[in-house]
Amino acid sequence: MHTARVIASLVFSVLALPVAACTAPIEEDEGDTGDVSEALSQGCAIKRSTILASASPARRRAMERGFTWLDANVPYSQSRSYKGYRTDCSGFVSMAWELGTSYTTANFISGGGQSHAIGAYGGLVPGDALVRRANGAGHIVMFLGWNDSAKTSACVIEQASTALDMQFRVRTAASLRSGGYKAIRANKLRSDTGGSSAAPSGPVDDQDDDDDAVASSSSGSGSSSGPSGTGKACGSDGMCNPGNDGSGLICQAGRCVPGCRSNAHCPGITKCVAGQCR
């Protein structure tokens, strides 16, 4: 009798295992690890200020919200949240679009998630997104503009993966198409096609005159003296050197001043030596 009870207990345990697995929470973007080859590609040729200046107010707001996560270096997680939104790729886009809840790639790819398909890539406008979904895994990135006049690569911002976290980078159009990415737009931006998806081709000038003009007009504070950008009010190095675009400026005593703390702060091939780009 004792042996029979043991056998019955073992059989029950084995049969219970698949049930437990089926009832476990399903993470909609499970399996997305990002594209490492894309992560190591060239940086975006468009500066943040240029991207934002080219967009309509509503689209600029969406992209500015996206850049706040980049500046805060919000880590990728499918189980955690940051200021009310899940910190994976689809939660990030939900946050940038201010959708009020964290949708999934399954929602976005099917025309849900308060969004809709816009067809060909040629219709993309900064602030739109590109989403893929296959075999229970998916990914979504926010489109910021074309990196070249031929539209062979796009500048995007994304919550990439647990290995890469937030990224402001280039993805080739070929890789997006081959990956099955579909162009989508937030419903609230349906009639807002303001701004341009065109972007300058090749590297931009290392001087930050345009950046400072945009920052001054939006914040109400201008430069005080010294090189372009010096004296602009700041609260962190990221405000002087957005997206690590090599401005050669850092934040000290609440103002942007020439200097560096790492090579990422320096333009071109210059490096950070003793706090200065040389």
Please indicate, yes or no, whether residues 45 and 90 belong to a single structural domain of this protein: yes
Please indicate, yes or no, whether residues 255 and 185 belong to a single structural domain of this protein: no
Contacts of 109 (CB under 8 A, 6+ apart): 131, 132, 133, 138, 182
Assigned domain for 227 exists: yes
Residue 53's pLDDT band (cuts 50, 70, 90): very high
Pick from 189, 218, 234: which residue ends a domain?
A: 189
Please indicate, yes or no, whether residues 250 and 127 belong to a single structural domain of this protein: no
CATH code at 153?
3.90.1720.10
Read off the pLDDT of residues 170-187 as tens digits, 9 standing for 90 and up: 999 999 999 999 999 999
Contact indicator for 247, 258 with CB cutoff of 8 Å = no
Assigned domain for 12 exists: no
User: What share of the chain in percent tops pLDDT 70?
Assistant: 69
Instruction: Indicate if the alpha-carbon torsion angle 104, 106, 112, 118 is positive or negative.
Output: positive
Contact indicator for 229, 256 with CB cutoff of 8 Å = yes
Concatenated DSSP letters for 54-116? TB-HHHHHHHHHHHHHHHHTPPP-SS-EETTEESSHHHHHHHHTT-SS---HHHHHTT-TTEE
Residue 82 or residue 198, greater confidence: 82
Count of C-beta atoms within a 10 Å radius of residue 29: 23
pLDDT of residue 10: 45
DSSP β-ladder status, 166-172 and 85-86: unpaired
Please indicate, yes or no, whether residues 156 and 184 belong to a single structural domain of this protein: yes
Please indicate, yes or no, whether residues 128 and 262 belong to a single structural domain of this protein: no
CA distance 93 to 99: 9
Mean per-residue pLDDT, 89-104: 97
Residue 2's pLDDT band (cuts 50, 70, 90): low
Please indicate, yes or no, whether residues 218 and 99 belong to a single structural domain of this protein: no
Domain span at 180: 36-189
**73: phi > 0 → left, psi -120 to 50 → alpha, else beta; which?**
left
Read off the pLDDT of residues 16-51 as tens digits, 9 standing for 90 and up: 433 322 222 334 444 444 444 554 456 899 999 999
Residue 220's pLDDT band (cuts 50, 70, 90): very low
DSSP β-ladder status, 249-252 and 137-146: unpaired
Please indicate, yes or no, whether residues 213 and 94 belong to a single structural domain of this protein: no
Contacts of 4 (CB under 8 A, 6+ apart): none
Q: How many domains does the chain have?
A: 2
**Claim: this prediction has a pTM higher than 0.85:** no
Assigned domain for 8 exists: no
Torsion of CA 36, 41, 46, 49, to 10 degrees: 40
Please indicate, yes or no, whether residues 114 and 161 belong to a single structural domain of this protein: yes
pLDDT of residue 242: 63
Pick from 129, 155, 189: which residue ends a domain?
A: 189
pLDDT at 252 over 90: no
pLDDT at 169 over 50: yes
CA distance 133 to 175: 15
**Alpha-helix residue ranges (DSSP H) falling in 119-266:** 173-178, 209-219, 237-240
Please indicate, yes or no, whether residues 162 and 245 belong to a single structural domain of this protein: no
Smallest CA-to-CA distance from 246 within 226, 264, 269 is with: 264
Read off the pLDDT of residues 119-135 as tens digits, 9 standing for 90 and up: 899 999 999 999 999 99
Average pLDDT value for the chain: 76
pLDDT at 68 over 60: yes
pLDDT at 11 over 50: no
Please indicate, yes or no, whether residues 172 and 140 belong to a single structural domain of this protein: yes
pLDDT of residue 238: 73
Please indicate, yes or no, whether residues 170 and 225 belong to a single structural domain of this protein: no
Pick from 133, 155, 189: which residue ends a domain?
A: 189
Concatenated DSSP letters for 151-189? --EEEEEEE--TTT-EEEEEEEHHHHHHTT-EEEEEGGG
